[in-house]
Amino acid sequence: MPSKPKLSMVIAYARARFEAVAKVDPEPAVRLLSELGYDGAEISVLEPEEVGELSKIVKDHGLEIPAVGTGLNYLHFGLSLTSPDESLRTRAREKIGKIIDAASRSDIKGVIIGLIRGKGEEWEQIDQPINLLLEEMKKIAEEASKKNVLLYLEPLNRYESKLINRVEEGLRFLEELGADNVYLLLDTFHMNIEERSIEEAIRLAGEKIGHFHVADSNRLAPGMGHLDFVRILGALRDTGYMGYVSAEIQTKPDFEAAAKITISTLRRALEVLE
């Protein structure tokens, strides 16, 4: 492997209501990631001003922010791009727009569209929320393009959303959307549930992969479940992807241990592929 993807972990402020993210005091957490040899710290935020706050901490420790997550806004405030309530859709779109602007001002490349798209459970027919999502994403993609920010649409497993569960569905959505600044974010935890083969799904996504999340089969650190990260990272290499591999995990038994296990597992896998 002539060159390697960069490694990061997803962090958020301790108040975050999402278990599969490191809920931390950011300064010591980022310092530890830097000491362990990580290249970046992905951030998950509730408010746009958090982007600037966290960006300063991350940059002060010589790391990068590969992407900004927005899903906490669904979990905390119910903001959803596919809600039957038009006011919630508008608030979701406006919040994403403000986060995009904050990301642009902090020289962050991408913003994630994950849980903030909603679950689709309020609708009888799946095409209803999908059409709403297309409508909203076209507006968001246009605004992001003006700020030179990419959007990463994440296929989620069926237990978290009915909307876009598999890579194939994500690619179909991107084709219909027709926005050249929208890519897929693939996540090994979700793919392990939804895809017949994680490696085949990665190769299918190919050049449409904009960002990549890793978690083991149990959503713990890579190396604490049964996924084969040599094969997974080998498939990712085959696509030519050279962006970030970012751990979005439950940090058990604690943040430091999870960070150490993650980077050790991923480094070993990358060494095997050299």
Measure CA 113 to chain center.
Answer: 8
Q: Are 195 and 161 in contact (CB under 8 A)?
A: no
Catalytic residue, from 42, 64, 194, 248: name it: 248
Dihedral of CA 182/185/191/194: which sign? negative
CA dist 176 and 180 (Å) reads 11
CA distance 174 to 131: 12
Contact 6, 39 (CB under 8 A): yes
d(CA 184, CA 14): 27
* Residue 271 bears catalytic tag: no
- Rounded distance between C-alpha atoms, residue 91 and residue 112, angstroms: 16
Which two tokens mark 204?
A: 């299918």
Report CA-CA distances (Å) from 171 to 66, 108, 129, 174, 236.
22, 24, 17, 5, 16
Q: Is 200 in the active site?
A: no
Q: Which of 64, 136, 154, 195 is catalytic?
A: 154
Active centre residues (catalytic): 154, 248
